[in-house]
Chains A and B, each alone.
Chain A
Amino acid sequence: MTDKNKDLIDQKLQDLNNDGVDRRGFLKCMAWAGTGLVWTMSGGIPVSRAFAKGHSKDTGKDGDFSFVQISDSHIGFNKPANPDVTATLQTAINKINAMPHKPDFIIHTGDLSQLSKPSEFDTLDQVLKGASAKQILFVPGEHDMLTDNGEQYLQRYGKGTKGTGWSSFDHKGVHFVGLVNVANLKAGGMGSLGNQQLEWLEDDLKGRSASTPIVLFAHIPLWTIYPDWGWGTDDSERALSYVKRFGSVTVLNGHIHQIMQKVEGKVSFHTAMSTAFPQPAPGTAPSAGPMKVPADRLQRVLGITDVNYVVSGRSLAVVDSPLGDSGASPSGKAGAPLAVVGSIPG
């Protein structure tokens, strides 16, 4: 590991350990308790502002829209870290349905199920049916392709996709690309996109104007967070080389069940919380297994990610809200995971 990477991880560990909030972060958090925090990506510099305030100012312009990312539902998981993952997914959907601005669609960044069982997918479908946003887009996690090389996943969630489930679409001027980095993994490696998908990606982006905002989403992070735990994608650099020329690139991932953020040039990387159970910060536990937290803290470490696209700013604002952030909590503690985003340097 390079010193630079180690420093980055040390910094993150400092930010993420215990409650995930240092004193400064906590005070910052207090200021917007119950509102949420918006990160605006502008020229590669993340700018934070109070969610409710910023939102009211920016609504109403043609082409503005938002979508929500949920991740790692692990339906079927029933161990002590969260014995009822269906209930917490339901809470996430309720939270989305209660949003003052209606998201145009929902993106699920994989690990829908725990064991790729038909009954698990059925339960997921049942809960997602209650979402007010009718369009839900998926990329698979490794847990969704356990038994049949992902055939069942593809049948249920991958209609119209290519290969192992990758696809792209345009929405109000933003180009979205869903990538699969959990198929055909090699011994000793991390996530992998594979040559076929990379060639497709290069072709998919070719000819698009550099001013088109790009959103890439995939299950395993497309930047190397912690190789020892496989938290990265071996061939992501090639994928990122294809988006370098674009003015605004947002990369949304799941897999690590916690918020991490990095900005590199015009590319903003972001990982989402799980709706099922938290995982430890890199290197703070013997392994990446489910992290057990007291029951009353669980909903603060699970959550959803709300992404706002504002035409005027040509930027995407990413807001993470924990499930336990009801808006009525006066403590400020409820918003703790948000402060983690705020304290990671770009």
Chain B
Amino acid sequence: MTRKNIWVAGVATPAMIAMLLLFAGSPTVKANDQPSAANAAVKIDNFVFGPQTITVPVGTTVTWTNADDIPHTSVSTDGVFKSKVLDTDEKFSYTFTKAGTYPYYCTIHPKMTGKVVVQ
């Protein structure tokens, strides 16, 4: 890394922390005390939703990230949520406000299925 890059990184990092702190105060980010309970991640890798079944508390935002070279979707079998087509590294998030079991699949590769259990 060059000297210039270190300088840029040195400025950028405090700036990013400041922005994060700013957003932390906004009402869109809930449950500051338990950030792990409010967010959950599903990685789409090798044509598999991982984990295939994820169990989360009510109010959790689940984010799907496509790690494949091929586009995928994450679409609720019961019509509850529907992502756009996710190309490589693209994400889709949905916040589950009601308890229940939410099966979903990739509409492009329907053999790919998963489940979100909200308790």
Interface, chain A (partner B; CB < 8 A): 77, 79, 81, 114-116, 142-143, 146-147, 185-190, 227-230, 286-290
Binary CB contact string for chain B from 23 to 66 against chain A (1 if under 8 A, 0 otherwise)? 00000000000000000000000111000000000000000000
**Restricting to B61-119, which residues have a CB under 8 Å from any CB of A?**
68-71, 77, 84-85, 87-88, 103-105, 107-111, 113
Main secondary structure of the interface of A (DSSP, over half): loop
Nearest B residue to A116, CB-CB: B85
Report whether B47 and A289 are in contact in the complex, using a CB–CB cutoff of 8 Å: yes
Report whether B47 and A187 are in contact in the complex, using a CB–CB cutoff of 8 Å: no
Report whether A185 and B107 are in contact in the complex, using a CB–CB cutoff of 8 Å: yes
Given A185-B110, A287-B46, A287-B47, are A147 and B69 neighbors across the interface (CB < 8 Å)? Answer: no
Q: Bound complex: CA of A83 vs CA of B104, how far in Å?
A: 32
Report whether B111 and A289 are in contact in the complex, using a CB–CB cutoff of 8 Å: no
Partner of A288, one of B47, B103, B104, B113: B47
Main secondary structure of the interface of B (DSSP, over half): loop
Report whether A79 and B110 are in contact in the complex, using a CB–CB cutoff of 8 Å: no
Chain A residues with CB below 8 A from B46, complex form = 286-287, 289
Report whether A115 and B71 are in contact in the complex, using a CB–CB cutoff of 8 Å: yes
Distance between B111 CB and nearest chain A CB, rounded to angstroms: 4
Chain B residues with CB below 8 A from A79, complex form = 69, 88
Q: Beyond the given A187-B105, A228-B111, A230-B111, could you list 18 further A-B residue pairs with CB under 8 A, ordered by the A residue number?
A: A115-B87, A142-B108, A142-B109, A143-B71, A147-B84, A185-B107, A185-B110, A188-B111, A189-B110, A190-B111, A229-B47, A286-B46, A287-B46, A287-B47, A288-B47, A289-B68, A290-B69, A290-B70
Partner of B111, one of A81, A116, A147, A229: A229
Q: Provide a sorted-by-A list of 20 A–B residue pairs whose CB atoms are within 8 angstroms.
A: A77-B69, A79-B88, A81-B69, A115-B85, A142-B108, A142-B109, A146-B71, A147-B85, A187-B110, A188-B110, A188-B111, A188-B113, A228-B111, A229-B47, A229-B111, A286-B46, A287-B47, A287-B48, A287-B68, A288-B47
Tally of contact residues, B, Cβ under 8 A: 21
Q: Bound complex: CA of A186 vs CA of B85, how far in Å?
A: 17
Distance between B114 CB and nearest chain A CB, rounded to angstroms: 10
Partner of A190, one of B68, B103, B107, B110: B110
Chain A residues with CB below 8 A from B84, complex form = 147
Nearest A residue to B70, CB-CB: A289
Distance between A252 CB and nearest chain B CB, rounded to angstroms: 22
Distance between A231 CB and nearest chain B CB, rounded to angstroms: 9
Q: Bound complex: CA of A190 vs CA of B112, how far in Å?
A: 10
Chain B residues with CB below 8 A from A286, complex form = 46
Q: Bound complex: CA of A185 vs CA of B71, how far in Å?
A: 16
**Interface hub of A143, A185, A229 (most chain B Cβ within 10 A):** A185
Q: Bound complex: CA of A322 vs CA of B47, how far in Å?
A: 27
**Interface hub of B84, B103, B107 (most chain A Cβ within 10 A):** B107
Nearest B residue to A145, CB-CB: B108
Partner of A146, one of B68, B85, B103: B85
Chain A residues with CB below 8 A from B68, complex form = 287, 289
Q: Bound complex: CA of A60 vs CA of B105, how far in Å?
A: 53
Q: Bound complex: CA of A286 vs CA of B46, how far in Å?
A: 6
Q: Bound complex: CA of A296 vs CA of B104, how far in Å?
A: 40
Chain A residues with CB below 8 A from B108, complex form = 142-143, 146, 185
Report whether B88 and A230 are in contact in the complex, using a CB–CB cutoff of 8 Å: no
Q: Bound complex: CA of A325 vs CA of B113, how far in Å?
A: 40
Q: Bound complex: CA of A229 vs CA of B112, how far in Å?
A: 9
Q: Bound complex: CA of A290 vs CA of B110, how far in Å?
A: 18
Q: Bound complex: CA of A269 vs CA of B40, how far in Å?
A: 45
Chain B residues with CB below 8 A from A228, complex form = 111
Chain A residues with CB below 8 A from B70, complex form = 289-290
Distance between B92 CB and nearest chain A CB, rounded to angstroms: 14
Q: Bound complex: CA of A146 vs CA of B103, how far in Å?
A: 21
Given A79-B88, A146-B85, A187-B77, are A289 and B69 neighbors across the interface (CB < 8 Å)? Answer: yes
Partner of B105, one of A81, A146, A188, A290: A188
Nearest B residue to A288, CB-CB: B47
Q: Bound complex: CA of A186 vs CA of B75, how far in Å?
A: 11
Nearest A residue to B73, CB-CB: A146
Distance between B64 CB and nearest chain A CB, rounded to angstroms: 15
Q: Bound complex: CA of A185 vs CA of B111, how far in Å?
A: 10
Interchain residue pairs A-B with the least CB separation, the first 7: A187-B105, A287-B46, A287-B47, A230-B111, A185-B110, A79-B69, A286-B46
